[in-house]
Chains A and B, each alone.
Chain A
Amino acid sequence: MLKVENVSKSFKKRLVLQDINLTVDAGELVHISGINGSGKSTLFKIIAKLLAPDQGKVTLGSDDYLGALIENPGFLEYESGLSNLAFLAKLNQHYDEGKIRQLMQRFSLDPDDPQAIKNYSIGMRQKVGIIQAVMEDQTIILLDEPTRGIDQEGIGQFTELCHELTSSGKSIVVASHDTIAEMKYDRQLHLENGVLHE
């Protein structure tokens, strides 16, 4: 379970998040919409502990493991997609090559493609970003603008994966400025002027 309590964040004098409260239960699929710059990515970075809030706190369940696709995923640019994913998974001994290969194939990426990730298209990079967020059986998954640059077929594969993951008890929070028609969200929230509305 993910619990965000009274989180606020400002950059200089600009208030980006104002007293945010959010609880995501196991198996829930939540959508946070909001225009560009509304603070969605900031909220995700705070949840992922990449950014400290000015006030408030974020709590995860004791058995929870967080996965996240942060906006504009960056990688080791000289390495292939598989090498990048293997590198990240090995960081905390969660490397399962079979699973990574299966996820790549599912997203129509060739795991044996030796080309460097710097030559990947935006959509392909985005798919690798999604895979790294789920490949280690993460229980809470944050996906920031996950379908950016992904083709229609890829969006279908992504939607199917999200529904599969939530069916198996994983929690997913998707932040995007637009809606993905095929997604069946349990809850839709809207972030505007730093305030999260139901």
Chain B
Amino acid sequence: MLPTKTKRHYYYWLIGIFLMGILASANALLTFDPQDKKDVLNVYLYPHMLSLYLQSFVLIISGKEIMNFTTVKPYISLRGGDNDIGARLWTAVILNAAALFLGIFIPYIVVGWSWFTLGSWQLGTALIVLHIVVMLVLSTLLLGIYYQAHPYLQILAAIMLNLVFHYMIENQLLVKYSIYFDQLWRDIHLYSH
């Protein structure tokens, strides 16, 4: 259904996002402080790299991919194709997010480190799932670009919500998982020497 070049464009970005995830993850693992605790949340969720840089980048790419269709939307609507194109765009942005997380977690699986050493595996798993779900929801919200106006505002809003979640909600939830992520505790126990 989608023309060849547009499809090719999406596949290139999908592969690019996956490779970016792999490289960023490999870098995080290779430069991981040996004194620090090996825990998947300590490697990916507590640092800002994933939320601040990688997810913001993916949200921008997904937004731009949707914007490609906004100019031709009147002709799509005229032919009753909005739902079909909306579904395809949704699949594309969800795949972008999935490619990022696959790229991020595959190196961790490869190195074989234990996943949850600082807290319960149940809460740790829930935090990872919540992190992924938030990204999927934000990617889905980007579809508003196709149906409404102000695309750049919508991309900006998605990035801001992503950061608000990371800095204001996720960081609090990480403390529930382990006191190790409490800033005061860290200041006293890790940085006091």
Residues on A facing B (Cβ under 8 Å): 45, 48-50, 66-68, 70, 73-80, 83-84, 86-88, 90-92, 116, 132
Contact B68 A48 (CB under 8 A): no
Contact B3 A79 (CB under 8 A): yes
Task: Return the contact of A74 from the options B2, B5, B72, B81 (Cβ within 8 A).
Answer: B72
CB distance from B73 to the nearest CB of A (A): 8
Residue B114 interfacial (CB < 8 Å): no
Q: Which residue of B lies closest to A83 (CB)?
A: B3
Task: Return the contact of A66 from the options B5, B71, B78 (Cβ within 8 A).
Answer: B78
Given A50-B78, A66-B78, A92-B81, A87 and B71 contact (CB-CB distance below 8 Å) = no
A/B interface sample: 7 pairs, CB < 8 A: A76-B69, A77-B68, A77-B71, A78-B5, A79-B6, A88-B76, A90-B1
Q: Is the interface of B mostly helix, strand, loop or mixed?
A: helix
Query: Within 8 Å CB of A73, what residues of B?
Result: 75
Residue B183 interfacial (CB < 8 Å): no
Compute how far the CA of A75 lies from the CA of B68 in the bound complex, rounded to whole angstroms: 8
How many of chain B's residues touch chain A, expressed as a range?
20 to 34
Residue B80 interfacial (CB < 8 Å): yes
Given A83-B5, A91-B84, A92-B80, A76 and B74 contact (CB-CB distance below 8 Å) = no
Query: Within 8 Å CB of A45, what residues of B?
Result: 74
Task: Return the contact of A50 from the options B3, B69, B72, B77 (Cβ within 8 A).
Answer: B77
Compute how far the CA of A132 lies from the CA of B73 in the bound complex, rounded to whole angstroms: 13
Task: Return the contact of B71 from the options A75, A86, A92 (Cβ within 8 A).
Answer: A75
Residue B9 interfacial (CB < 8 Å): yes
Compute how far the CA of A49 lies from the CA of B73 in the bound complex, rounded to whole angstroms: 13
CB distance from A77 to the nearest CB of B (A): 7
Contact B78 A48 (CB under 8 A): yes
Contact A76 B72 (CB under 8 A): yes
Query: Within 8 Å CB of B69, what residues of A?
Result: 76
Contact B79 A92 (CB under 8 A): yes
Contact A74 B71 (CB under 8 A): yes
Closest 5 CB pairs of A and B: A74-B71, A91-B81, A83-B3, A91-B79, A79-B3
CB distance from A72 to the nearest CB of B (A): 9
Task: Return the contact of A48 from the options B72, B74, B81 (Cβ within 8 A).
Answer: B74
CB distance from B120 to the nearest CB of A (A): 49
Residue B35 interfacial (CB < 8 Å): no
Query: Within 8 Å CB of B5, what residues of A?
Result: 78-80, 83, 116
Query: Within 8 Å CB of B80, what residues of A?
Result: 91-92
Query: Within 8 Å CB of A87, what residues of B?
Result: 1-3
Query: Within 8 Å CB of A91, what residues of B?
Result: 1, 76, 79-81, 84-85
Compute how far the CA of A116 lies from the CA of B74 in the bound complex, rounded to whole angstroms: 20
Q: Provide the B77-108 mask, 1 if CB < 8 A to any CB of A, else 0.
A: 11111001100000000000000000000000
Q: Provide the B1-37 mask, 1 if CB < 8 A to any CB of A, else 0.
A: 1111110010000000000000000000000000000
Contact B76 A50 (CB under 8 A): no
Query: Within 8 Å CB of A49, what residues of B?
Result: 77-78
CB distance from A171 to the nearest CB of B (A): 16
Given A74-B72, A76-B72, A86 and B79 contact (CB-CB distance below 8 Å) = no
Q: Which residue of A lies closest to B85 (CB)?
A: A91
Contact B9 A88 (CB under 8 A): no
CB distance from B167 to the nearest CB of A (A): 36
Contact A68 B4 (CB under 8 A): no
Query: Within 8 Å CB of A66, what residues of B?
Result: 78
Q: Which residue of A lies closest to B70 (CB)?
A: A74
Query: Within 8 Å CB of B79, what residues of A?
Result: 88, 91-92
